[in-house]
Amino acid sequence: MDYRALLKNVERTLEAIERSEDTLSTVVNVAEAVVRNFRNELGIVGGRLYVKSEEGYVLERGFGRSKKAPVGLAVPAAYAPLRRAEEDGLVLTDLSDPSVDRELEGRLGVTRFAAVSFGEARYLLSFDVHPRVRGEDLLLSLGIIRTVLDSKVRTERLEGMINDARRIQQSILPKSVPDVADYDVWAITSPAELVGGDFYDFLPLSPTSFGAAVADASGHGLLAALLVRDVYVGLRMGIGGDLKITRAIERLNRILNKSRLTTKFVSLFYGEFEADGELIYVNAGHQPPLLYRAASRRFEELPSTGMVLGPSPTAVYGRRSIALLPGDVLVLLTDGILEATDRKGREFGPQRTRQIVSRLGRRPAREIAESLLAAVRDWSAGKPPEDDRTIVVIRRSPPRPVLPAAPPPPPVS
């Protein structure tokens, strides 16, 4: 048998199968295609799909000659051929095997079968095979099919998890920006993958104050997105529970430290903004935000007040306060902005960021954020981003000029 040709035929068959709405439908489509297309090469004349249950496996569907198999038939987990399939991935046996239940297989019309376990033993395909097919050829061929099946199921499960994570991430991003006093606020994020490890949030605190957070989880993709979800929940629980700002961050740090995720390091900036311009903040190892002073046209940085969240359960975080004056602009960034590179490997960097913010300092927060992100994309010359990119701009609008009162009308003569 030409196994290389067989593998190519299997791959072409699987690639031709349209993606289904769920994993089970995909498995059914694959099984039907195998029975339909490989009857001659593998001697497969029918088959049955079993799905794992608490007590064993339940017959889900039959294919080919076994189309009329009794759907819903339960096979106990202790059935020896199934146990061997789970342990070894596949098994080939017939009625001469003393561990085979002749009555059960008789109900199914089976004399010789090969069982293939895949999808972390959640699924089991039992193929009816012709007695003349050599066992060695059949096992090798089914090993190829099992590998492709397993890969397809795992891929679809992973894609499903990623899509679920993306929906969760989209659901936790704020639907609006704070409307408090003279603050002008805007935020924008662009993940490097379908889901990202960047996160921002706005928390209403009172009619005259709000909280703002920006976080950057180590790495990006699915694991980083799951970690971001924990940050969102933990931060809101701490702040919503009326914990003081430092206690809330220290509690969140302990939660992340106990996380079972392999990547669990997060930088976080969280600040609380009052109507009079006072800002109280904690910076847990995050990229220092840039504060543009409108009066002096100079920049200040809001430095770290503690280490990144996650590594140490006993980490202590300080807090600082600063005043935002009318016209001042605070820009919160993640590393994906400053570390974006051009074709020559040069980083966008803080200097270019400052130039853009300084030039647009009198413009609305939305224009500043969108212009900065556009400049980063232009700098990267269309290269796919290597990291997630997030920008939050918080600007105190300058007071509107008071127009002089109109002169009184001349007296009527």
Query: Both 213 and 252 in a single domain?
Result: yes
Give the per-residue pLDDT at 372. Answer: 98
pLDDT of res. 3: 56
Domain presence at residue 412: no
Same domain, 139 and 207: no
Of 375 and 163, the one with more pLDDT:
375
For residue 400, the model assigns a pLDDT of: 73
Are 360 and 386 found together in one domain? yes
pLDDT in tens, 245-258: 999 999 999 988 88
Residue 1 Cα to chain centre, angstroms: 43
What pLDDT is stored for residue 338 in this prediction?
95
Q: Tell which of 146, 164, 182 closes a domain.
A: 164
Q: Give the structural domain span for 232.
A: 173-396
150-193 tens-digit pLDDT: 766 776 676 666 676 677 777 788 999 999 999 999 999 988 87
Residue that terminates a domain, selected from 138, 164, 190: 164
In a domain, 406, yes or no: no
pTM of the model as a whole:
0.65
Residue 237 shares a structural domain with residue 116: no
CATH of the domain at 142: 3.30.450.40
Sheet containing strand 389-396, edge to edge, reads: 183-190, 389-396, 329-333, 290-293, 298-301
Residues 227 and 151 in one domain: no
| CATH code, domain with 297 | 3.60.40.10
Q: What is the predicted pLDDT for the residue at 33? A: 81
| Distance from C-alpha of 354 to C-alpha of 365, rounded to nearest angstrom | 15
Asked if residue 269 belongs to a domain, the reply is: yes
pLDDT-wise least confident of 4-13, 123-132, 288-297, 351-360: 4-13
The amino acid at 109: G
198-206 and 290-293: which strand pairing?
Answer: unpaired
User: Is 390 in a helix, a strand, or coil?
Assistant: strand
Average pLDDT across the chain, whole number: 86
Q: How many domains does the chain have?
A: 2
Residue 411 lies in a domain: no
189 within some domain: yes
Whether residue 331 is found in the same domain as residue 363: yes
133 has pLDDT over 90 = no
pLDDT per position as a tens digit, 254-307: 988 887 665 568 999 999 999 999 999 999 999 999 999 999 999 999 999 999
Structural domain contains residue 193: yes
Same domain, 77 and 145: yes
Q: Is 219 helix (H, G, I), strand (E, B) or coil?
A: coil
Task: Tell me the residue length of the chain.
Answer: 413
Mean pLDDT of 66-72: 88
Claim to verify: residue 268 and residue 130 sit in the same structural domain: no
CA atoms within 13 A on the CB side of 226: 12
Indicate if 150 and 280 belong to the same structural domain.
Answer: no
132 and 235 in a single domain? The answer is: no
- Dihedral angle computed from the Cα positions of residues 217, 222, 227 and 228, in that order, rounded to the nearest 10 degrees: 70
User: 104: which DSSP letter?
Assistant: H
Round to whole Å and give the CA distance between 276 and 323: 8
Residues 144 and 188 in one domain: no
- What residues have CB less than 8 Å from 115, skipping those under 6 apart? 81, 82, 84, 85, 90, 91, 124, 125, 126, 127
Judged on CB neighbours under 10 Å (0-12, 13-18, 19+), 413 is exposed
Together in a domain, 143 and 245: no
Span of 252-266, 271-285, 322-336, 389-403 with lowest mean pLDDT: 252-266
Q: Does any domain span residue 407?
A: no
Among the three residues 128, 147, 164, which one is the final residue of a domain in this structure?
164
Answer yes or no: is 63 within a domain: yes
